[in-house]
Amino acid sequence: ETGVTQTPRHLVMGMTNKKSLKCEQHLGHNAMYWYKQSAKKPLELMFVYSLEERVENNSVPSRFSPECPNSSHLFLHLHTLQPEDSALYLCASSQDLNLGYEQYFGPGTRLTVT
């Protein structure tokens, strides 16, 4: 238990569906992240939020839309996804964005796009 929870743990959706992934951290951290983990690629940073403001958008397609309503919650809204978007989506948080701060990861949402 790292203090970062993600729901749902597994999600199967069609290409025309709209769904949302939820992340919640109970650590009092100020920074939150979305990562994509595919079978044949390194862990890819998607979005970074610090104090609810987006700091970085790593050239992610617009079919992925993040939302950070407060420092404890982070959402990833999904619409019209492609089969190649199937992957493990990991949320993480850290105390701050400063170098050296440990990132605490949630267990991930395993997404399958059919």
Annotate each residue in 73-92 with x if it binds other proteins (CB under 8 A) or - if it does not, as one string.
-----------------x-x
Encoded tokens for 95? 């105390």
Residue 5 in the binding site for other proteins (CB under 8 A): no
Among 42, 69, 70, 83, binds other proteins (CB under 8 A): 42
Q: Is the dihedral of CA 90, 43, 67, 71 positive or negative?
A: positive
For residue 83, the minimal CB distance to other proteins (Å) is 23
What is the full DSSP assignment across 81-101? Answer: --GGG-EEEEEEEES-SSTTP
For the chain, helix (H) and strand (E) counts, in that order, are 0, 11
Does 20 sit near other proteins (CB under 8 A)?
Answer: no
Give the interface with other proteins as residue ranges (CB under 8 A).
2, 4, 35, 42-45, 48, 50, 55-56, 90, 92, 97-100, 102-108
